Amino acid sequence: MDRAENLAPAEAAAEAVKAYLRIYRSRLAEDPELLALMLPARFGGEANVRDYQRYAIDRLLAENAALKAECEGLRRVSDRAALRREGVRKMVLDLFDAKSLAATVAIAMGAAEQFDADAVSLGIEAGAPPRLRADEIVELAPGLVDSLIERDAVGALLRGASHPALFPNQPDCTSTAIFRLRIGPKIPPGLYAVASRDSARFDDEGETREIAYFARALERTIRAWLDRSRN
């Protein structure tokens, strides 16, 4: 091992400091100025603190308050997510209880608030049965659904301005979650879309799954009403 006199001045000084700290480490906790010099990122600007014990307690209290606020924020987010889940499940039950196809469509079109979104749209490509040509249902160009959603995919997320065919009156929506509706083998494909002005609204996969679940229930209830009309 090199002796101190064989080291460069800077290295020798560093070794001396290390030796001092090993011997007098208990003094380190009682000397805020030394702490500020050694750990400026954590104790910067605190070199003039005289009551270090009081300072340390205040620092811990502040950190605890920040942590508590963060946990409270996470709890509120979790509570909102739970409320949305319950709301979606209630809407699914409403779909099953609907007394007509028109009532089913009305439930789907009134779901924006429950999804914490700004608008929803229900569309079927051209060639749909007469019962699916209501004012609330948008007639889509043939092939549009496959152009927006991969053929084997359940849904997709669109960024940027909302699609004009789905939301002609909502150009300021910047995030759209869309879900394929496979209503029947002889019925053109459709989609259910939920749009928001918040560009990050549908980044949470858990929440998007809730909307997808509703879309699947909507698909099945529409199919059931059409099957009933043929019998």
Q: Note the pLDDT of residue 102.
A: 92
DSSP-assigned letters across all residues of 174-231:
-EEEEEEE---TTS--EEEEEEESSTTTT--HHHHHHHHHHHHHHHHHHHHHHHHHH-
Q: What is the pLDDT of residue 26?
A: 64
Phi-psi region at 45: left, alpha or beta (left = phi > 0; alpha = psi -120 to 50): left
- H/E element, 63: helix 52-97
pLDDT at 222: 93
Please give the pLDDT value at position 37: 61
N-to-C CA span, the chain: 96
Q: Give which of 222, 153, 152, 156 is closest to 194, Cα–Cα.
A: 156
Give the amino acid at 171.
P
What does the pLDDT read at residue 67? Answer: 74
pLDDT of residue 103: 93
The segments of the chain whose pLDDT lies below 50 read 1-4, 46-48
Q: Where in the chain is the domain with CATH 3.30.450.40?
A: 98-230
What pTM value is reported for the model?
A: 0.64
pLDDT of residue 29: 60
pLDDT (0 to 100) of residue 1: 44
What's residue 111's pLDDT? 92
What fold does the segment set 98-230 form as a domain?
Beta-Lactamase (3.30.450)
